[in-house]
Amino acid sequence: MPTGDSLDLILRALGYAAPVVGGLAVWSVTKYVRLLHVEKETEQVRKDRDALSAQLAEARQQHETTRLALTDRLDRLRALYYEARDKFYRLRRAYFELRNRPPEDSTPLAPDRAAALEADRDEARREVERLQQQIEEIARFDGRLWLRPPTGPVPPFRPRADRKAVVISVLNLKGGVGKTTLTANLAATLATADRQALVVDLDYQRSLSMLLVGNRERILLHRGGLTVQRFLAGAAHRVSDLTGKAKDLAPDVPHCAVVTNSDARAGGQPADSLEETENRLMVEWLLDRTRPDPRFFLREAVHDPGLDYGYVLLDCPPRLTTACVNALAASDFVLIPVVPDPVSTRAAENLLRTLQRFRAELCPEVAVLGVVPNMVRLHNGEPTRDHADALTELKAAVLEVWDEPIPILESCIKHDSAFGRAAAHIDTDGKVRLAVADPKVGPAFRALATELEREIRRHASRRAAAVLAGPRAPARSGR
């Protein structure tokens, strides 16, 4: 039987242990209650997951049903389109034969026959355009039209070591960011006697053509078939077919040449415009997959080792047209000009997501060279507060979207009236006046060119390292 001292010691020990035991009891109850809550939440998550899986399966079924319905509609439209197109060309041929009869042909004409033929021709053309628009709507609904795998031979994407030209697409799917002036002035800055620059106007707005070539000269190029749309629509797409349409810009812009585009206002038929050519190539390829794949026409030319240009800069439109997809499939790099504001930030994010899909399925070699802040407002040599905040937000957004580091280039191009003055005088005397010639603008473009050349070398060294590492790491080659 414990003595008084022992009993006192035991009671004292129990007194010390009571809070610990009580705390353990409370902790155990709390953990048990939390476990019950977690089990309930887990069960709810399972139910939500099952419900979402069912909704996803239903959505997939609906998508497949819609796809089959659209495919059937596309087949019907295909037949109607070819029928309407053949009718249009028959009527067009008959109308021109009637209108261009030789003077010695004295066969009397039926009253108003030419007018009736002209009306029928115009109606047939409208029908062709209506059907083409419906086909384009289906293509936009599909969303992955341009990512379809090729069905025939495709020109190879030649490694940079096997050709001279660095091919850069200047692209943003948002308009108004100054990509045309950036393309022209950057080409003039990069070009040297040893590494000349070729710029190609792939934008249906043809701003680059109007900036670099006077109106009279553009008309002559259009009538002579020396335009980018004639290259795309041609039967062959060799390097000579492209460079044969280039206009040398010297002496106004030394070591530079441009391939322009034009429309009916330059004196041709509406069907000769870039937008009509793009739509026709897209529709014909969509309806007849045995045709040559129009996504790779430009690659065949600019990847030819015989192309004697150091830089090819492609001024792209603000949407995924046939010409824009050609540019992406041919490019080593995409350069993204942005105006530092929230709208441009979101546009850059959307463009990067689009480029991710294209790189995964159509042009795995393309890389993003950088983002160029353009038309930046400066105060004491630094971006204003709102532009600085937008650039900070853009840096964070780019990191979330792209799987590789993308530099927000430090050599921003400030907003300057010199750009507007340069674009205003081309038609007065035919001389090209680029803003880069202005002593306030030129240094920024020279700094930008230096940054871009450094990035190009960095990408080249990374690719070379990847090639060298390949034989030593066969286990990763299948990734």
Please tell me the distance from the alpha carbon of residue 348 to that of residue 206, in angstroms, as a whole number.
22
H helices within 306-376, ranges in order?
322-330, 342-361
- As beta bridge partners, residue 169 has 314, 334
Q: What is the spatial distance between Cα 283 and Cα 281, in angstroms, rounded to a whole number?
A: 6
Q: What is the largest CA-CA distance in the chain?
A: 146
CA 260 centroid distance within chain:
19
Please tell me the distance from the alpha carbon of residue 327 to that of residue 232, in angstroms, as a whole number. Answer: 12
* C-alpha–C-alpha distance, residues 442 and 430, integer Å: 22
CA distances from 49 to 42, 148, 266 (A): 10, 32, 60
The answer for residues whose C-beta is within 8 angstroms of residue 75's C-beta and 6 or more apart is none
pLDDT tens, 78-135?
Answer: 677 777 777 777 777 777 777 666 666 556 556 577 777 778 878 877 777 777 666 6
Residue 381 phi, psi dihedral angles, 5° rounding: 80, 0
370 beta partners: 335
Q: pLDDT band at 76, cuts 50/70/90?
A: confident
Whether residue 340 is predicted with pLDDT greater than 90 in this model: the reply is no
* Residue 97 φ/ψ, nearest 5 degrees: -60, -40
Mean pLDDT value across residues 276-285: 85
The continuous run of DSSP H or E covering 332 comes out as none
Tally of CB atoms within 10 A around 359? 18
The tens digit of pLDDT for each residue in 30-62 reads 777 788 878 887 888 788 777 766 766 665 565
What are 131-184's pLDDT values in tens digits?
Answer: 766 666 665 544 467 888 888 889 999 999 999 999 999 999 888 889 999 999
CA distance 252 to 63: 55
- Given CA atoms 460, 461, 464, 469 in this order, what sign does their dihedral have? negative
Residue 64, pLDDT score: 57
pLDDT at res. 51: 72
Strand partners, 413: 374
pLDDT in tens, 416-466: 777 777 666 676 777 888 888 888 889 999 999 999 999 999 998 877 666
Three-class SS state of 307: coil
pTM for the model stands at 0.70
Q: Residue 71 phi/psi, 5° resolution?
A: -65, -45
Residue 275 has pLDDT above 60, yes or no: yes
- Give the Cα separation of 331 and 157 in Å (integer): 9
pLDDT of residue 71: 63
Distance, in Å, from the CA atom of 236 to the CA atom of 247, rounded to the nearest integer, reads: 20
- Which amino acid, residue 114? A
Strand-pair partners of 201: 315
Q: Quick one: pLDDT at residue 471?
A: 46
3-state per-residue secondary structure call for 86-149: HHHHHHHHHHHHHHCCCCCCCCCCCCCHHHHHHHHHHHHHHHHHHHHHHHHHHHHHHCCHHHCC
- Count of beta carbons in the 10 Å neighbourhood of residue 30: 10
List the one residue out of 325, 199, 219 whose CA is nearest residue 263. 219
DSSP 3-state assignment of 378? strand
Q: φ, ψ for residue 393 (rounded to 5)?
A: -65, -40
Neighbours of 293 (CB within 10 A): 18
Cis peptide, bond prior to residue 251, ω within 30 of zero: yes
> 264, 275 in Cβ contact below 8 A?
no
Examine the pLDDT at 385 and tell me if it is beyond 80: yes
User: 426: helix, coil or strand?
Assistant: helix
**Which CATH number applies to 158-463?**
3.40.50.300
- Tell me: the pLDDT tens digits for 299-313? 999 999 999 999 999
H/E run at residue 370? strand 367-376
Q: Residue 168 and residue 5: Cα distance in Å, rounded?
A: 92
pLDDT, residue 297, reads 97
Which has the higher per-residue pLDDT, 323 or 36? Answer: 323
- Rounded Cα distance between 164 and 311, Å, is 8
CA 121 from chain centre, in angstroms, equals: 36
pLDDT number for residue 308: 94
DSSP β-bridge partners for residue 47: none
